Structure 1
Amino acid sequence: MYDTSNPFEWKYYKTVDYPFGQWTITDASLSPDNRFLAYTSIRNLVCLAPTDPVDTSDPAILDLSILPGGRAGRRGLYGSSHFGIWSIRFSGDGREIVAGTSDHSVIVYDLETRQSVLRLQNHEDDVNAVCFGDKSSPHILYSGSDDTTLRVWDRRSMGDGREAGVFMGHTEGLTYVDSKGDGRYVISNGKDQTMKLWDLRKLMTTAKFDTLDIGRYTSGFDYRFESYPSNYYEPHPHDCSVVTFRGHRVLKTLIRCHFSPPGSTNSRYVYTGSEDGKVYVYNLDATLAGTIDAGHATVDTRPQDPDIFTTAYEVRSRSGEMMWRTCVRDASWHPNAPVLAATSWNGWGLSTGTCTLHTWNDSAAEDEGDPPVGRSYDCKLNPVPEFNQFKDTISRIRSRPVERAPMNDEFELCSAGRRPPTPSRSKLAFLIALHLHRPASDTSYKGVF
């Protein structure tokens, strides 16, 4: 965790562990008051840790398989009543959490009574993403599943245990859902390589949904191991989304998407991570506003030989694929400043992780350029000497004067030290978590990352 009171000058806060985790940390959610972090693994247990750096106590363990009355839930994928949790979110008042699980269910857990109060089991496959629909009310829930549906639940009218309605339009499983927080709009990412914007007023009724064979429109594509063939995609005949965004790549992992915040962007964008190492920022009419290249931002973190100016990890596999790659899993836009943080799988065979810090300028597309690369830091924000020394060496090499032919006088550099114009726009700032760039700024934002 990091203190991001100054979005450009993060401070290491604390590290928490998942004592019984399986394979990975699947998701994390910060409480609205910033006091607690809930995080999950491929287990039915949620860890709830205080964010206070002075508090070194073990996290509380919440068992989501226990239903009211002490009953265990149905037998799950991992034996007994166990299951994995793919997604978790706090309610707007911080009193509940909602989870999406590998046993096809949505679970609501009450943090005061420490028990599950609701279990919804209508999905036909893993529930990869969940969220509350309204920050001011816990009644509306959204859930996205590998069964290709985005379902809407209204807890005020669940006598029959059914969803209030269904959003149809994705032809492969969903990886993420995010509510605008107004009880009306929601976006989703799908393995059909699309992001979709939905309006609650265009919800498909359960009566109509019951007449459809949802398996008829999906290929069963496995996004973990292959690219999505272009001939797989066909528009869904019952698509009820209002906008579809295409161009990014939803592969390898459950890539997230979000609405941009009202404070710093007037909510004019939606944005998403991508398997090609970029953050894609779209206008609401589905045109591309721009991209942020997290892969390029981490180039100078790779071991290189300054004398021959080559990257040691630029090795191609037998298939010709570059083995050093970057896959942006998630990004988060600062609520009050033009700053984004992007978390990525990075490295040789996507074997490591980085978090990069970037800036965004709405109106300077014609003035874009690569900014100077900043310093590198480890996960506790200690400088990484070998990377920083290499970066300094490369900087000196790049600053050497170069003689060009007179006909190229617009690029001519003389030994007197003239240099080409430096781009005034810095779209990428650089790197935190395993590596971080930290330019000076006094922009204020209170929170823990």
Structure 2
Amino acid sequence: MDSGGFGSFDIRDRKQKDLSRRILDRELALGGTNGQKRNRGLMLQQQIPSTTPEMIIHYEEPVCCGQFSDDGNFFYNAAKDFKVRLYDTSNPYEWKHYKTVHHPFAAWTLTDAALSPDNKWLAFTSLQTDVCLTPTDPADTGEPYTLSFSNGYRFAIFSIRFSGDGRQLIAGTGADSIIVYDIERRSIVHHVTAHMDDVNAVCFADKMSPHILYSGSDDCTIKVWDTRSLGDGRPAGAFVGHTQGITYIDSKGDGRYILSNGKEQSMKLWDLRMAHSGTWFEENRPTDLTQARQNFYNYDYRWQDFDDNYFYKHPNDNSLVTFRGHKVQRTLIRCHFSPPGSTDSRYVYSGSHDGNIYVWNMDATIAKKIDVQAATAGRVRPRPHRRYMLHHDYDSAQTTLVRDVGWHPSAPILVASAWNGGSMDAGTATIHSYNELEADEGDPKMGRSVNEKLEPMESNMLYV
């Protein structure tokens, strides 16, 4: 916390100054150059968005993921209706819908979407082996390109990422494997059996480097790979500590820190320098313990509540910090580092099955809970006849599940991508901004409801 790697910490002030006082200090140029720099960081840290939404976007199906581009100029999301939507957010307070693209061969749901480093291409995936690639240019209205990752087999793709040079796509699959795909050659470079169970998440240590890769699996481990030697199937290192399957991993982008969500209802922070070696992993077999415990408890996160009696600390845990309080249930809920431009890198955050966004300080204390369920309560009604229904019965009182959260890189704005309704068969994206007061002083009014194209909806039309 004192390193500066996660924002500024004003340890000298016993009583935290409010934002208006810090703005005054800045205008009066108090504190010198170093003091002003620290003051700016502390101002950014105080601007966490509030529960009251600026806008609620309604969709006909649950929304699975949604993120801003690195420059904040557009936002994309993917939903269970096999479509991705792109919005112009160059003015983050005045969104414009400009494109919707359909996955022609999708199965069951879209699972992930990712932008190329130059923001020109969006890749999106489904529970089958074809990856769609579409240009983000609003003038290009053609059908998406389809890339086959099958290599003669059929499997789900849970996670997709571009390499730092934009030349390759890396996928995590339901075949317990990692696939490296060369976009220009339209061919698979590597298909490596990487884990003992589904690979739910992949990401790079550094967005600008194509070499150090992480994979997270239902076998409870995160493995570190060097793509230059991926063909031999031997990981360069491993992180051990989750005791149920891993749903998501996110990189801070500095080549050092990553974050992960686990089905034992915890989120963990890791440092690459503390990874177990690949040799240590093979010799010590840390998955033997987690497999034995999983077989004993027989817990299934898709429909069961997690009993805290199941929670235990793995004896080989090499994580830095463990964050708890949220619910990683029903689906592959995502977690992220907060951006440096709008938060001074001060926080980590996650969606949750209980309808909240959880924002933590780096000491694992909760900085804020944003209640998306309250923001959408009474605003969404499911249709009586659906194209499909989900596998399992859900508690009718559970009306919102936040699966993903995007934080704008330079403005104090969050977007929650959610499932809604007693059967989780509706979808919303709620836009939350920082407000010192809950009172609405501007136009357009806060809390307005719009459809996917951002057209106003009447109150009696708020169903999907």
Q: What TM-score results when the alignment is normalised by the length of structure 1?
A: 0.76
- AA partner of residue 149 (structure 2): L
Measured in 2, the distance between the counterparts of 1:89 and 1:2 equals 20
1:150 aligns with 2:222: yes
Corresponding residue for residue 98 of structure 1: 170
Q: 3-state DSSP class of the match of 1:238?
A: coil
User: After superposition, where does 1:413-424 map in structure 2 within 5 Å?
Assistant: none
TM-superposed deviation, 1:324: 5.1
Kindly indicate whether the alpha-carbon contact (under 8 Å) linking 1:187 and 1:196 is maintained by their aligned counterparts in 2.
yes
> Alpha-carbon deviation of 1:375?
1.2
Aligned length: 359
CA apart distance, 1:360: 3.6
2:178–2:192 contact (8 Å) kept in structure 1: yes
Q: Distance in 1 between matches of 2:412 and 2:378?
A: 24
Partner of 2:457: 384
Q: Which residue of 2 aligns with 1:125?
A: 197
State which drifts further: 194-203 or 5-14. 5-14
Structure 1 position 341 matched with structure 2 position 415: yes
SS at 2:280's partner residue? helix
Cα distance in 1 for partners of 2:460, 2:247 equals 34
What do the CA deviations read for 1:59-88 (whole angstroms, capped 9, x no partner)?
11101123xxxxx4xxxxxxxx11110011
Matched, 1:46 2:131: yes
Query: Is it true that 1:15 corresponds to 2:100 in the alignment?
Result: yes
Partner residue in 2 for 1:403: none
**Residues of 1 paired with 2:363 and 2:395: CA distance?**
34
- Of 228, 231, 235 in structure 1, the residue corresponding to residue 309 of structure 2 is 231
Indicate the larger mover: 27-36 or 14-23.
27-36
User: Aligned equivalents of 1:348 and 1:140: distance in 2?
Assistant: 41
Q: Which structure: larger Rg? A: 1
Distance in 2 (alpha carbons) for counterparts of 1:276 and 1:8: 27
Letter in 2 for 1:212: R
Q: Which whole-Å CA distance do the structure 2 matches of 1:35 and 1:158 have between them? A: 27
Give the equivalent residue in structure 2 for 1:331. Answer: 405
- 1:32 shift after superposition: 2.3
The answer as to whether partners of 2:394 and 2:422 remain within 8 angstroms in 1 is no
Match of 1:350 in 2: 424
User: 1:298-317 counterparts in 2 under 5 A?
Assistant: 298-302=376-380
Is the CA contact 2:127–2:157 (under 8 Å) kept in the aligned structure 1?
yes
Distance (whole Å) between structure 2 residues aligned to residue 276 and residue 158 of structure 1:
39
Task: Tell me the equivalent position of 2:233.
Answer: 161
Task: Say whether the 8 Å CA contact 2:192–2:231 is kept in structure 1.
Answer: no
Contact 1:261 1:334 in 2 (8 A): yes
Percent of paired sites with the same residue: 56
**Following TM superposition, by how much is the alpha carbon of 1:114 offset from its aligned partner in structure 2, in angstroms?**
1.3
Aligned mates of 1:387, 1:381 — CA distance in 2 = 17
The equivalent of 2:209 in structure 1 is 137
Q: Specify the code of the residue in structure 1 equivalent to 2:405.
A: A
- The answer for the alignment partner of 2:46 in structure 1 is none
Taking the aligned partners of 2:374 and 2:242, their CA distance within structure 1 comes to 31
Counterpart CA distance in 1 for 2:167 and 2:230 is 20
Does the alignment pair 1:216 with 2:289? yes
Deviates more, 1:34-43 or 1:321-330: 321-330
CA deviation profile, 1:367-426 (whole Å, cap 9, x unmatched): 7789975211011111112358x9xxxxxxxxxxxxxxxxxxxxxxxxxxxxxxxxxxxx
Describe the superposition over 1:309-344 as per-residue Cα deviations: whole angstroms up to 9, x where unpaired: xxxxxxxxxx99444510000001000011010100
Other structure's SS at 1:268 match:
coil
Whether the 8 Å contact between 2:380 and 2:420 is mirrored in structure 1 is no
Matched, 1:191 2:191: no
Partner of 2:433: 359
Q: Which runs of 5+ in 2 are unaligned?
A: 1-85, 382-392
**Which residue type is aligned with residue 181 of structure 1?**
G
Q: What does residue 65 of structure 1 align with?
A: 150
- My pick for the range that moved more, 168-177 or 319-328, is 319-328
Indicate the residue corresponding to 2:54 in structure 1. none
Q: Secondary structure at the match of 1:353?
A: strand
Q: Is 2:127 the partner of 1:55?
A: no
Residues 1:36 and 2:114 aligned together: no
Other-structure match for 1:83: 155
**What is the distance in 2 between the residues matched to 1:322 and 1:299?**
13
Question: Contact 1:21–1:42 (CA<8 Å) still a contact in 2?
Answer: yes
SS at match of 1:15: strand
CA contact (8 A) 1:65 1:116 kept: no
The DSSP-based 3-state class of the residue aligned with 1:138 is coil
2:91 is aligned with 1:6: yes
Q: Please point out which of 319, 326, 336 is paired with 1:248.
A: 326
How far apart in 2 are the matches of 1:221 and 1:103? 21
Residue 363 of structure 2 is matched in structure 1 by 285
Report 1 or 2 for greater relative contact order, CA contacts < 8 Å, sequence distance ≥ 6: 2
The question of whether the paired residues in 1 share the 8 Å contact of 2:190 and 2:231 is answered with no
Q: Name the Cα RMSD after superposition.
A: 2.2
Question: How many Å separate the matches in 2 of 1:24 and 1:215?
Answer: 32
Q: Name which of 341, 345, 352 aligns with 1:274.
A: 352
Per the TM alignment, residue 20 of structure 1 is displaced from its structure 2 partner at its CA by 1.0
Partner in structure 2 of residue 258 of structure 1: 336
Q: 1:224 to 1:321 in 2, by over 3 A?
A: closer
Partner Cα distance (1:14, 1:158) in 2: 36
Q: Distance in 1 between matches of 2:377 and 2:196?
A: 42
Secondary structure class of the residue paired with 2:341: helix
Contact 2:175–2:197 (Cα < 8 Å) also in 1: yes
Tell me the CA shift for residue 89 of structure 1: 1.1
Give distance in 1, aligned partners of 2:118 and 2:278.
36
2:224 partner letter: V
Structure 1: distance between partners of 2:301 and 2:439: 33
Q: Deviations over 1:65-121 (max 9, x none)?
A: 23xxxxx4xxxxxxxx11110011122232221110000001111111111112221
Aligned to 1:177: 249
Shift of residue 149, structure 1, vs aligned partner:
0.3
